[in-house]
Amino acid sequence: MKFNNVLKRIDLDNNYSNGWRPQDKCGVFAIYNYQGPDNAALITYLGLLALQHRGQESAGMAFNCEQGINHIKGMGLVDHVFPRDTLFAIDSKTILGHVRYSTTGSSFVVNAQPLVARSADQSGISLAHNGNLTNTRRLHNKLLGDGHIFHTTSDTEIILSYLSRFKRRGLVSAVQNAMNIIEGAYSAVVLDEEQLVAFRDPNGFRPLMIGCLGEAFIFASETAALDTVGASFIREVEPGEIVTAGPKGLSSYKQVSDSESSLCVFEHVYFSRPDSILGGQSVYGFRKKVGSLLARRITAGLDMVIPSPDSGVSAAIGLAESLNLPMEWAIHRNSYLGRTFIEPTQNEREMAVRLKFNPVKDLITGRRVAIVDDSLVRGTTARVLAALLRKSGAAEVHLCIASPPYKHPCYYGIDIPLARDLAALDSDLNYLAAEIGADSITFAELSDLYSAVGKEQHKLCSACFTGLYPKLGKTRGKVS
């Protein structure tokens, strides 16, 4: 993989939140020409529910109707935005859906996706996007200079603006020309009155899957969404590829680029559901294997392994099996507390974690326990869990992290804290463990992640661990 470690070349306008975990940009689900017994809106609803973990701020759908392309969207979870009567009122066989967490653009309903652009003849296009552009500021200023009036603060509108400009040449040509201009991470689906077009950036930072359900075609951020609606997985949209679903079926157009695949390793580590498949590999299997490899690095004596719910479960299983130790669900997670309870101050964040987790004391008292999590970012959750375990009578608390120390910002669609807020900036693990309140802390090595991925390791972006950023791919050529 080619890398560029000079940050000044990256043109950004990112908005980082104060949450204690990294957040993925969004989830996309789109269905074309559904002819089944249910309506397409219900299928899209179920697909979006399966992708709810990728974004909880807002949800939306866009679809064709007699008046052109219409959309329904709102703030909150999918089942809040789309009550049952709303779903059955949507009479369309082709629908574009989206769940959002903001990385560029504030958390307001105007930024909820899909975004829609209409022409003077009332024809229109709608776009849903997962990722983050890296030349946002430059393109924003250029469009302003050309007289464009922005309606959102999202980088998705920049993509939509260029698609609208080039649409008269056809939707595929519009996508090809837009891809020559935009840079960064984008797995996106665009809808007009005739077809659905999916496209993915030349590096392939974010996943995008193709499936079928009867005669219908589906694009989704994860295979788990295809499974949920009973669809069959066909393949992934390749980096730099444009795939259309239209009256003649699926068509593919591969853009020319000098980049190499750079799928975000955090898709394996944390973002994707464990029942999803990435690059032909089980996400659950990856995390379990990393846990097994992490077990070789642990020198402390242990009595029990505890997963940090729910992010550390797969790795904890692998670690416990390798160490021949019992794994106990000794920390209960209140699943009814969501992001609404995340507050901006450190004290309020820690209180939110206490509301979210509660230990089973009888399992913990007098035991030397390993608490396993997928990653360590701010360290807020780790601090509170260590304190809860000690208060419950744990003899020793050892923190086991199934990824390397997170030390560098992401520019490709993950919302993380500023570098100064990252817990693992200091390489002194004894100091870090003491600061968190653990007896020791053990991280997986990058080689463990590569070993778990196998032959596809060269196709991963691991800049958040290494600071070595992939060379951004640029597509070349256009269709008139």
Residues that are catalytic:
26
Tokens, residue 346: 């450190």
Q: 181: closest CA among 202, 159, 196, 160?
A: 159
Kind and range of the H or E run holding 287: helix 283-295
CA pair distance 36, 26, nearest whole angstrom: 27
CA pair distance 153, 169, nearest whole angstrom: 27
Residues 100/156, Cβ–Cβ less than 8 Å: no
What does R_g of the chain's alpha carbons equal in angstroms?
23
Nearest-5° Cα angle at 394, 389 to 399: 60
CA pair distance 403, 289, nearest whole angstrom: 12
CA pair distance 112, 98, nearest whole angstrom: 8
CA pair distance 32, 247, nearest whole angstrom: 10
Question: Which amino acid is located at 89 in the chain?
Answer: A
Neighbour count for residue 279 (Cβ, 10 Å): 19
CA pair distance 199, 32, nearest whole angstrom: 15
Dihedral, CA of residue 36, residue 272, residue 29 and residue 39, to nearest 10: 30
CA distances in angstroms from 205 to 198, 201, 275, listed in the order given: 15, 7, 20
Half-sphere exposure of 119 (CA within 13 A, CB side): 12
Residues 60/81, Cβ–Cβ less than 8 Å: yes
Half-sphere exposure of 130 (CA within 13 A, CB side): 34
Residues 377/406, Cβ–Cβ less than 8 Å: yes
Question: Which amino acid is located at 243 in the chain?
Answer: V
Pairing of strands 26-32, 196-200: unpaired
